[in-house]
Structures are given as C-alpha cells and as structure tokens.
Amino acid sequence: MSSNQTSQRAYSQRQLRVGELVKQNLGELFIRNEAKIPSINSKLVTVTEVRMTPDLKTARVYIIPLGGVDTKETVRILTENSHLVRRALSKRLDIKFLPKLNFVEDNSFEYAEKIEKIIKKNKENDKKKRYN
C-alpha cells in the first residue's frame, strides 16, 4: 500500500500534530481576542477540533459558540473575517505555510446529546416494562 493511500484513510502524524498546534493557538488567540473580529466576542468561541488537509495548506476548524447559540451566524462572521484570524495566527505560528482556515460548526455535541436522550428514554422504557 502506498503512503498516498494511507493518508486517504487516516490522518498522518504530521497532519494531527499541525492540526493540534493550530487548534491550541486559535483557542488562545480567541480567548485573548487577538484577531479583533468586529461584531463577535471571540472569547465565547470554542475550537473543538482542527483537521488539516494532507498538504497542510487548509485547516478545517470546528467551532462551537458558548451554549451553542447562534452557531451558523458565528461561523459566517468567522469565515468573513478569516483574514484577521490568519493574521493573528501568523504572529503565533512559525510554519512553512500558514493554512487557509475553513470554519465549520461542530455538531458533535448536539449529536451526542441526541444519543444520550435516546439511551435515557430506552432505559425508562425498560424500567416500565419490568414493572408492568
């Protein structure tokens, strides 16, 4: 199997390492409001995951605003101001290529919550069946 086929299936150590580096630095610069994005309080934005493309030139940044409120709007504002975020990131990172940032909403918490509710409902139904 060639190395190209492997990277199609799983992320390389390099992709994971750079993704984690970008995630940590984005988190810190959001907390410190270093990107100075108008109309958004970046302190309320959590970066949950960063996935890098194999060439490390694009980062898919999964975010969730505090309380999961106005997620689509937050993604839109961050996308429109990604140049400001990249500029702030460039001051923190010393890597060959500064990745292009694609912001997307992280639905994993919502998904986990749905599963949790289903499990809880099933447990309640099981209890009812035992007592009937």
Q: What is the pLDDT of residue 115?
A: 85
Do the domain assignments include residue 40? yes
Q: To the nearest whole number, what is the mean pLDDT of the chain? A: 87
Do the domain assignments include residue 34? yes
Q: What is the pLDDT of residue 5?
A: 41
Do the domain assignments include residue 21? yes
Residues 63, 74 contacting (CB under 8 angstroms): yes
Domain that holds residue 12: 3-107
Do the domain assignments include residue 122? no
Q: How many domains does the chain have?
A: 1
Do the domain assignments include residue 69? yes
Backbone Cα Rg of the chain? 19
Phi, psi torsion values for 2, nearest 5 degrees? -75, 160
Domain containing residue 96: CATH number:
3.30.300.20
Do the domain assignments include residue 125? no
Give 10-residue mean pLDDT values along the chain (132 residues).
48 93 96 92 93 96 89 94 95 90 88 82 80 70
Q: What is the pLDDT of residue 3?
A: 43
